[in-house]
Amino acid sequence: MNARVERDEAIEAVGEAADRASPDWTERACNAIQAFARNRWPESFLIEDVRAANCIEPPHDGRAWGAAAQLASRRGMIVRAGFAPAKSSHLSPKPVWRAA
């Protein structure tokens, strides 16, 4: 299996688990990301910035934010604007987003 398929399946599984723990969490987080992005326009942001804004209750697993970000991206709510180090992951590069 190719690495992208494995990544996408893992993101989907974590999102589904978040939705089982808190119904529609991924959908609500996707909408929170869109609202955050619109309020920040034209600035870009990391998902950790959305998390820090406390605009939705945290998921049972922090990785579920990836599922919400992917959903917002697929829906055209946000677009990738590069990469930046994230404090929440020991400064590893994470996608930078902006409102679409």
CB 29, CB 56: distance < 8 Å: yes
98 HSE (CA, 13 A, CB side):
8
* H helix or E strand, kind and range, residue 19: helix 3-21
pLDDT in tens, the chain (100 residues): 799 999 999 999 999 999 999 999 999 999 999 999 999 999 999 999 999 999 999 999 999 999 999 999 999 999 999 999 999 999 999 999 999 9
Query: Please, what are the domains in the chain?
Result: 3-99 (1.10.10)
Whether this prediction's pTM lies above 0.85 is answered by yes
C-alpha–C-alpha distance, residues 1 and 7, integer Å = 10
Supply the pLDDT for residue 29. 98
Query: For residue 55, what are the CA distances in angstroms to 6, 35, 49, 63, 82?
Result: 30, 9, 10, 17, 24
